[in-house]
């Protein structure tokens, strides 16, 4: 079985989606699938001018464009940049098609966004191969959350229509959460054409000896956020909670790892809050060192249609590293965390609720060890990438069989 993956972006980006991409191809290669990948024109190779690089041991072909204005960015790049990106669709489709014709994959697997789906579709039609489209987020809803203007709502509606068309033209759709499954079904995609492959963890990358809260005074615990710094993550709520706790004599450090469009605003907010440190962008290979430094991970996502449908990867990663996790009550988090059993849940968008939850665990440290172990068992038994890879293999085999 040979599969060509079409990605919008890949490593060295440390976004959850790019970590999932690495784990998809690594786990599939690990069970015997012949894997290759291609990335969009909007991401530079690690080494300038490189045409092919290796990710998790698999070849990833770079179609990088020379126009630096089109590089991937979390910031709103404006309508003209979006339109210029659309002009690259045909050339990217040709790039994918030429690569597919040379390599002869059995399946073409495109991953969000629709840009990859359309490019993959051209190659699939050209070769008569099945196309899988994997939906990982709802990009149109992100735009409205950042700036709920009439223009962004109109653009978001258009993107939703395009994404729906991308789903309909695929032979099969993969989603990563229950919320996305319901959303895709609501768009009219038949249930038998949808497969749920949840976010998971490659346990071989997790150090079993990771430091835990055991043997450490609660007053010395380091609280942390690890991930993308965007508005949906609710980090302004976390910083405000720390400010309130400081006024109550709470002295634990808060460390924030990652980069993103909300960085400057968050730094400004934290300017007068003692003990908040921003470490900036990190490489996925730094995970071992980061998790060794922190004790409790907080994911305070704001409630929205998007966060109710999408499950984050970083939460599972923290659980795998045996870190107690504090999360907001958005539905995407509740797919992963059960309050008091595998983590701790506070009411989304409620600063005082977060304050109360942090105080709860600081004053009752004895409740954490069993929660940590149950979270580890959940990840290792239900969210391993080995199981996910087998699910992909079964899907691919069925699609190929249907083509014969």
Q: Are 364 and 327 contained in the same domain?
A: yes
**How many domains, in total, are found in the chain?**
2
Q: Are 132 and 219 contained in the same domain?
A: no
Residues 235-284: tens digit of each pLDDT: 999 999 999 999 999 999 999 999 999 999 999 999 999 999 999 999 88
Tell me the backbone φ, ψ of residue 394, rounded to 5 degrees: -60, -40
Residues 354-371: tens digit of each pLDDT: 999 999 999 999 999 999
Alpha carbons 46 and 27: distance in angstroms, whole number: 22
Instruction: Tell me the pLDDT band of 335, cut-offs 50, 70 and 90.
Output: very high
Q: Please report which helix (H) or strand (E) contains residue 196, including its range.
A: strand 194-196
Residue 39 belongs to domain with CATH number: 3.40.50.2000
In the chain, % of residues over pLDDT 90: 74
Mean pLDDT of 155-164: 89
Q: Are 196 and 333 contained in the same domain?
A: no
Q: Are 236 and 306 contained in the same domain?
A: yes
Alpha carbons 206 and 213: distance in angstroms, whole number: 17
Mean pLDDT of 101-127: 96
Least confident interval from 66-70, 224-228, 280-284: 66-70
Q: Are 311 and 301 contained in the same domain?
A: yes
Mean pLDDT of 194-216: 78
Q: Are 313 and 333 contained in the same domain?
A: yes
Q: Are 329 and 284 contained in the same domain?
A: yes
What range does the domain containing 355 cover?
Answer: 204-382
Alpha carbons 70 and 84: distance in angstroms, whole number: 8
CB-neighbour burial class of residue 217 (10 A; exposed 0-12, middle 13-18, buried 19+):
exposed
From the list 199, 138, 192, 182, the residue with the least C-alpha distance to 163 is 138
Q: Are 16 and 84 contained in the same domain?
A: yes
Q: Is the pLDDT of residue 154 over 90?
A: no
Q: 222-255: b or e for each residue (b if 16 or more CB lie within 10 Å)?
A: bbbbbbbbbbbbbbbbbbbbbbebbeeebebbbb
Chain centroid, CA 127 distance in Å: 31
Q: What is the residue-wise DSSP string for 360-376? A: HHHH-GGGHHHHHHHHH
Q: Are 233 and 139 contained in the same domain?
A: no
User: What pLDDT does residue 330 have?
Assistant: 97
Residues 2-60: tens digit of each pLDDT: 999 999 999 888 788 899 999 999 999 999 999 999 999 988 888 887 899 999 999 99
The owner of tokens 């959350």 is 145
Mean of per-residue pLDDT scores for the chain: 90
pTM comes to 0.87
- CA angle (361 as vertex; 360, 363 as ends), nearest 5: 70
Query: Is residue 130 a contact partner of residue 403, using CB atoms and an 8 Å limit?
Result: yes
Q: Is the pLDDT of residue 308 over 70?
A: yes
For the chain, the C-alpha Rg in angstroms (whole number) is 21
Q: Are 121 and 53 contained in the same domain?
A: yes
Instruction: Indicate the pairing of strand 344-346 with strand 58-62.
Output: unpaired
Q: Are 342 and 397 contained in the same domain?
A: no
From the list 11, 7, 40, 8, the residue with the least C-alpha distance to 283 is 11
Query: Is residue 198 a contact partner of residue 311, using CB atoms and an 8 Å limit?
Result: yes
Q: Are 15 and 104 contained in the same domain?
A: yes
From the list 255, 195, 234, the residue with the least C-alpha distance to 393 is 195
């Amino acid at each position: 079985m040979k599969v060509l993956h079409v990605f919008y972006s890949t490593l060295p980006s440390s976004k959850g989606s790019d970590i999932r991409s690495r784990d998809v191809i690594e786990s599939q290669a690990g069970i015997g699938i012949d894997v290759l990948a291609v990335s969009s024109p909007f991401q530079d190779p690690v080494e300038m001018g490189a045409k092919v690089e290796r990710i998790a041991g698999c070849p990833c072909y770079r179609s990088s464009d020379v126009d630096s204005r089109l590089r991937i960015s979390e910031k709103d790049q404006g309508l003209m940049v979006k339109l210029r990106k659309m002009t690259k669709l045909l050339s990217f489709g040709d790039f994918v098609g030429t690569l597919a014709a040379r390599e002869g994959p059995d399946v073409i697997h495109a991953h969000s966004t629709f840009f990859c789906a359309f490019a993959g579709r051209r190659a699939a039609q050209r070769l008569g191969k099945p196309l899988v489209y994997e939906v990982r987020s709802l990009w149109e809803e992100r735009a409205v959350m950042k700036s709920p203007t009439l223009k962004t709502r109109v653009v978001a509606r258009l993107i939703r229509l395009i994404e729906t068309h991308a789903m309909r033209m695929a032979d099969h759709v993969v989603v990563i959460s229950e919320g996305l499954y319901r959303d895709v079904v609501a768009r009219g995609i038949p249930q038998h054409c949808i497969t749920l492959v949840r976010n998971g963890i490659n346990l071989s990358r997790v150090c079993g000896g990771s430091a835990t809260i055991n043997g450490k005074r609660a007053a010395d615990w380091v609280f942390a956020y690890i991930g993308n710094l965007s508005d949906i993550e609710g980090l302004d709520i976390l910083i405000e909670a720390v400010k309130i706790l400081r006024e109550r004599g709470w002295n634990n450090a808060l460390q924030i790892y990652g980069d993103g469009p909300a960085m400057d605003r968050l730094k400004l907010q934290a300017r007068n809050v003692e003990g908040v440190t921003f470490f900036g962008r990190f490489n996925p290979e730094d995970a071992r060192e980061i998790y060794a430094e922190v004790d409790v991970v907080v994911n305070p996502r704001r409630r929205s249609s998007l966060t109710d449908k999408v499950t984050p990867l970083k939460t599972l990663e923290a659980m795998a590293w045996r870190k107690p996790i504090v999360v907001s009550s958005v539905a995407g988090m509740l797919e992963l965390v059960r309050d008091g059993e595998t983590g701790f849940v506070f009411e989304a968008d409620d600063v005082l609720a977060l304050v109360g939850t942090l105080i709860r665990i600081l004053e009752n440290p004895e409740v954490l060890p069993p929660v940590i172990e149950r979270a580890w068992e959940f990840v290792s038994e239900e969210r391993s990438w080995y199981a996910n890879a087998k699910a992909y293999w079964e899907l691919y085999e069925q699609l190929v069989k249907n083509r014969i």
